[in-house]
Amino acid sequence: MHHFPVPYPDELIYSLVARAGIRSAITSPKQLLEQVFGDRKVIATLDLPSHLSAISSLLVNTGKFDVQRLIYEHTMFPIYAPFVDESTRIRALKGMGSRSKSSVHLMLGAVASIVKTSGNFRSCFLCVAEQQQKYGESYWSRLWHLPSLPHCPIHGLLNQSSTSYHDNRHTYHLYDQIRCNIPRNNDNNDKELLHYLAKKAQEVLLLPCQKSPTKHQWSKFYNHLAHDFSCGKGTKQVSHEMIAERVIKKVAIPELAVDFNMDTNWLRTIFRHHRKAFSYLQHLTVWSAFIPDMTVSEIIKEVKKKGKANVVVTKILKPESERIEEKHIKWRNLISTTSIKKARSLSGGGALYAWLYRNDKEWLLAFNRQNYSQSAPRKKKVNWDARDRVLTKQLLRIIDQLDTVITGPRRSKNYLLKQLKHSSTLSKKLPLMPKLTSTLNRYQESTFEFQARRLTMTVMTRTQAALGMSRWQLMRSASLSEERIQPIVEKLLDWIVMESNIN
């Protein structure tokens, strides 16, 4: 692609591709994807895009924008990178450089996190004015799309749009195409705290590419942090009540409201042994309560100083044979009256199972394998032959109705299937319904049939409106192209043009 634009500071890749489409006068979303990525199925992703190696190759003449720099300076990846394992960070980098199929959002925890990315566009009018003055055009900045933080780190509360970038999964919208309005409830009492969080989030975004701390290092950091501020109990434990008194005043985001009735609320969990990654907002909220004056870079360096996990190998002495035999007898007696699964849930049964598992695992597994209760054979709940006949008849009636209508999208196999109820379930059970499958294959609209129908609709519309019938007018109105038009449709088009010229 010629004349591909160079990204502005903090410009999202999403915005860069949208500007490339305008610069090259490309109006078709699919054609833009083909020109930029060489793939017409790429999803327009705002925060964590993939296929960035294609963008890097278009900017190779600048000698600056390799895949890693694009990820760290023009996506939302840096707000996840310091808080996930190093192996996850490396896999995410590789996924964003190539074809990830949305796996990056899963591995970074963006899907399961309580801190969600807004699907709607956000902007700052003052930032836009500065962009216009400095660059002559506006663009989408990543500072406006921090998850659950609609606050500009420079100017304050952001403007919201009712438009979602999910509305058309292949379309890249320019800033000038989206209208953002001032939010109604802008009397937030926590403006200073929101401003602090936004400034710290900006520092996280500006962190250079570096190795991520381990979960053990994060655990040690928060444990030491609690003890440094007299929130500890003994040498290792922490006082969650004292921590909550400090942090609860700093919670400015509704998603981070702490439920004290739950022993597993996020504030308790972050000060315990880390078994998962926490979002950037959870970390920033705790930092604002304990170490508000430290920079993010200094905090990350402090975390990395914490020692690695020391693996202590303890030699377990084999228990006496009499004690083991006593446990064997108890487990046999317990299994003789109930199933293995139920025995583990009984009082004392779980402890007995755990003891045997630790001290005589081979015997326990072998004994359980011989005493598994046989589950009753599952009865066939659905008569798929009868359902196949009923659904096939319904589909044929729908096809008869569609035959009387010339307008509408392509009647592909998937389109016809979605006309039935519970189409998502049916799509997984098609191998059990041969009649329905055969009907879908037989009556689905082929490419040339869809092109012919579009051409027919165009001719009818232009005839009623007394418009011209030249070849280029018909092809443009029918959304046909010289590269993909079918031979039989091309002959039909030539015949229509010839007949219109004769008349």
Q: What rounded mean pLDDT belongs to the chain?
A: 87
Amino acid letter for position 242: M
Give the integer Cα–Cα distance in Å for 325 and 373.
23
Whether residue 82 has pLDDT greater than 90: yes
The rounded radius of gyration (Å) of the Cα atoms in the chain is 31
pLDDT of residue 163: 84
Whether residue 210 has pLDDT greater than 90: yes
Nearest to 439 by CA among 408, 399, 405, 386: 399
Averaged pLDDT for residues 232-250? 88
* Least-confidence region, from 88-92, 152-156, 205-209, 312-316: 312-316
Give the integer Cα–Cα distance in Å for 365 and 334.
15
Residues 6+ apart with CB under 8 A from 343: 331, 334, 335, 349, 353
Averaged pLDDT for residues 131-150? 92
Q: Provide, rounded to the nearest whole percent, the portion of the chain with pLDDT above 90.
A: 43
Joined tokens for residue 9: 């500071």
- For 398-418, give one letter per residue: b (16+ CB within 10 A) or e: ebeebeeeeeeeebebebbbe
Joined tokens for residue 32: 């833009």
Confidence of residue 76 (pLDDT cuts 50, 70, 90): very high
Confidence of residue 309 (pLDDT cuts 50, 70, 90): very low
Nearest to 280 by CA among 400, 114, 464: 114
Averaged pLDDT for residues 403-418? 89
**Whole-model pTM over 0.75:** no
